[in-house]
Amino acid sequence: MDGDLRSAVQQFLTALEAERGFAANTIAAYRNDLEQFCTYVQSPPAEDHIPAISQWSELTEAHLSTYILHLRGREYAASTIARKTAALKSFSAYLVERGITRIDAAEKLSAPRVEKYTPRSISPSEIDQLLAQTARAAADNRPEGLRDQAMLETLYSTGMRVSELVALNLPDVDLERRVARCTGKGGRQRSVPLRTSAINALRSYLDHGRPRIAPNEEQALFVNHRGSRLTRQGFWLILKAYARQAGIQDITPHTLRHSFATHALRHGYELRDVQQMLGHVSISTTQVYRRIATPTPAAEPAAPGE
């Protein structure tokens, strides 16, 4: 399997160098990007729910789009994702040209903008509109509505990555202590506070929603309608549906993380505290939010962690 995938990559790189005159640095970058993708598709994370492949003819759009989500979830820079996307698009076109695949699986793959990165957040009023949609869905006591309200309240309350949110297990949430424990990059664990609205939503979901869809042996906190762990892709589809109802455009799960950080700083949180809640190793990563965090009028809603 390994040889089949990587031999095609090597042939592609040789063609770039010989036929298109690509610079050595570009070839090296493409090699690194495509070998990383090979490793991913050979053994995708279980939570991504895509099949491993042994030959490029098995490659689908889902492999590529899920991989880009995987990179975003690990907080790769937009410029890095753009470069990796370019490598994947070029390689996918090569596979079609050589008759290895019938369709260009990367044809619809889009790269992020690469100008100076400023995290996109939404306003507190838009957060209220979004959460109001989940409250409406939870009002009829359906398990999925209760789950959705608990998920979005928890995500905005804590600033977790969506990968951390869907990885939560039942013991990771302590409603009495008002904290959730999540595992971030490098296996680093941290505890994050839960605001009252998140606690109430979680309690309703755990009491009245989750028992109706999750089997007793399932440890995942958030489950799909089949009772198994919800995926990042599943959450993204749910979020987009509520955002559409609220009239909010261009939103991703990371938008809520950015909004949490921005709103916390606007309400006077110390940068070090926000760094700890986000799970950033370096405070310089957190400092980017200072560019979009401006003083908050007194009438704005409570800070995310309150």
* Domain at 228, CATH number: 1.10.443.10
Q: How many CB atoms are closer than 10 A to CB 11? A: 13
Q: Is 258 a catalytic residue?
A: no
276 and 166 within one domain: yes
Judgement on whether residues 140 and 190 belong to the same structural domain of the protein = yes
Catalytic residue chosen out of the listed positions 70, 83, 161, 267: 161
Task: Evaluate whether residue 117 is within a structural domain.
Answer: no
Does residue 179 sit in the same domain as residue 272?
yes
Residue that terminates a domain, selected from 97, 112, 133: 97
Q: Write b or e for each residue in 79-115: b if 16 or more Cβ atoms lie within 10 A of its Cβ, otherwise e.
A: eebbbbbbbbbbbbbbbeeeebbeebbbeebebbeee
254 catalytically annotated: yes
Residue 3: predicted pLDDT: 47
Q: Which of 142, 181, 185, 240 is catalytic?
A: 185
- Specify whether 263 is catalytic: no
Same domain for 135 and 78, yes or no, is no
110 is a domain residue: no
pTM: 0.61
Together in a domain, 138 and 222: yes
Give me the catalytic one of 83, 84, 89, 257. Answer: 257
Q: Are residues 153 and 240 in the same domain?
A: yes
Q: Tell me if 299 is assigned to some domain.
A: no
Q: Is residue 87 part of a domain?
A: yes
**Is 257 noted as a catalytic residue in this protein?**
yes
Site of tokens 């489950």: 223
Residue 289 bears catalytic tag: yes
pLDDT tens, residue order, the chain (306 aa) = 344 899 999 999 998 888 777 777 888 999 999 999 999 999 999 888 899 999 999 999 999 999 998 998 888 877 888 889 999 999 999 999 999 999 999 998 887 665 455 667 889 999 999 999 999 999 999 999 999 999 999 999 999 999 999 999 999 999 999 999 999 877 889 999 999 999 999 999 999 999 999 998 999 999 999 999 999 889 999 999 999 999 998 888 888 999 999 999 888 888 889 898 998 887 878 887 876 665 444 334 455 655
Task: Please say whether the beta carbons of 167 and 154 come within 8 A.
Answer: no
Same domain, 78 and 159: no
CA distance 111 to 304: 31
Kindly list the distances between the CA atom of residue 127 and the CA atoms of 23, 58, 244, 290, in Å, as whole numbers in the listed order: 46, 40, 13, 19
The total number of structural domains in the chain stands at: 2
Domain containing residue 222: 124-291
Within a domain: residue 37? yes
Q: What is the pLDDT of residue 303?
A: 57
Q: What is the CATH number of the domain that holds 32?
A: 1.10.150
- Give ∠ CA 277-279-284 in degrees, rounded to 5: 100
CA dist., res. 302 & res. 306, Å (int): 6
Contacts 24+ apart (CB under 8 A), 95-99: 95/8, 95/56, 95/59, 98/11
- β-pairing verdict for 173-174 and 179-183: antiparallel
Same domain, residue pair 141 and 285: yes
**Do residue 171 and residue 84 come from a single domain?**
no
Q: Which of 46, 87, 98, 31 is CA-nearest to residue 64?
A: 87
